[in-house]
Amino acid sequence: MGTSNPYAPPKGAVRDMPAEEQELASRLVRLLAAILDGIIVSVMVYVPALVVMAATGGFDESATADFDTFALPLAVAAIGFIAWAWITLLLVARYGQTMAKRLLEIRVVRSDGSQASLGRIFWLRNVVNGLLGIIPLYSLIDPLLIFGERKQCIHDLIADTIVVKA
At 138, give phi and psi (nearest 5°): -60, -40
Concatenate the DSSP letters of all residues of 112-148 into one string: TSSBPPHHIIIIIIIIIHHHHTTSTTHHHHHHHGGGS
Residue 19 — very low, low, confident or very high, per pLDDT cuts 50/70/90? very low
pLDDT higher at 141 or 2: 141
Q: List the Cα angle 8/11/13 in 5-degree steps.
A: 165
Q: Region 122-130: what's the mean pLDDT?
A: 94
Whether residue 155 is predicted with pLDDT greater than 70 in this model: the reply is yes
Q: Region 109-134: what's the mean pLDDT?
A: 95
Q: Region 100-127: what's the mean pLDDT?
A: 96
pTM passes above 0.85: no
The C-alpha atoms of residue 142 and residue 138 are separated, in whole angstroms, by 6
Q: Return the percentage of the chain with pLDDT > 70, whole number.
A: 93
- The pLDDT assigned to 103 comes to 98
- Do residues 148 and 162 touch, judged by C-beta distance below 8 A? no
Look over the chain and give the mean of its residue pLDDT values, rounded to a whole number. 90
Q: Region 113-132: what's the mean pLDDT?
A: 95
Encode burial over 44-71: b for 16+ CB neighbours within 10 A, e otherwise.
Answer: bbeebbbebbeebebeeeeeeeeeebbe
- The pLDDT assigned to 62 comes to 73
DSSP code, position 19? G
Residue 21 — very low, low, confident or very high, per pLDDT cuts 50/70/90? confident
